[in-house]
Every structure is written in C-alpha cells, then in structure tokens.
Amino acid sequence: MAAEHALTAREAAVKAAKAKEEADVTAREAAAVVLRLFDNDAELVSELLGVPAEELEREAKPVTAARAKEIIESLRARAERPRTTRIRKPRADVADAASSTSGTPAPVVTADGSRADAA
C-alpha cells in the first residue's frame, strides 16, 4: 500500500512538473509576443503589465522571433474568424411555449399548498 502511494505521488509530481514547464513556456511566449507587438518597448510593456522590464526581456529572450510571429499570426487568424453564437430564447418564452402546447391546463397551487385545477 505504501509503494502504491509513493508511485501515485511520483506520478502526480511528474504531471505537476510537466504542467509547470508548459506554463513557463506559455509565459515566455506571451512575453515575447507582447514585446513584439509593442515594438520591443520593454519600458512601456513593463508599465502596462506591472512587471519589471528586465524580467520581461529575460522571459522573452529564449523565444525565437519566428515563434513569436507564428503566435501573433495565429491570434490574428483566430480574431478574424466569425464567432459562432447560438440564439437563446429567454426562459419565460420556453416555459410559455411548453405550457401552451401541452393541451392540458397547468396545475395551480393554492395558498394552503394543495393543488387545484386551473380550469
């Protein structure tokens, strides 16, 4: 049982380490993208984000310009796609439609909690 617990804990640690690495890569890429979008003006981006300029530059440094450009292009393409939205009916309309199509009157609850016919 202890070995199983140790194995489970190790697997959880490996998953957490992988998630942390993925988050670190995403953060580095985001820093590179935002700097590229603002013409590498680290001071301006630093003020906007409240992050020291040196930290932004350090984070963005390992990301290639090609990767940053690729991310920017994918974001632009995603922004240009029309969003698919469903038109939702208000709940009152749905409830009214259901009661009007059923053919049987809805029960009415009286003040004492008993039911009475609506007709």
Note if the pTM is more than 0.75. Answer: no
Q: Which pLDDT score is estimated for 51?
A: 92
Q: What is the dihedral sign for C-alpha 101, 105, 107, 109?
A: positive
Bridge partners of 113, per DSSP, are none
**What is the full per-residue pLDDT of the chain (119 aa) written as tens digits?**
989 999 999 999 999 999 999 999 999 999 999 999 999 999 999 999 999 999 999 999 999 989 999 999 999 998 888 777 777 777 765 555 555 555 555 556 555 555 555 55
Element holding 116 (H helix, E strand)? strand 115-116
Sequence-ordered alpha helix ranges (H) in 1-119? 2-37, 42-49, 53-60, 65-80, 91-102
Q: Which pLDDT score is estimated for 100?
A: 54
**pLDDT tens digit string along 46-77?**
999 999 999 999 999 999 989 999 999 999 99
Q: Which pLDDT score is estimated for 82?
A: 76
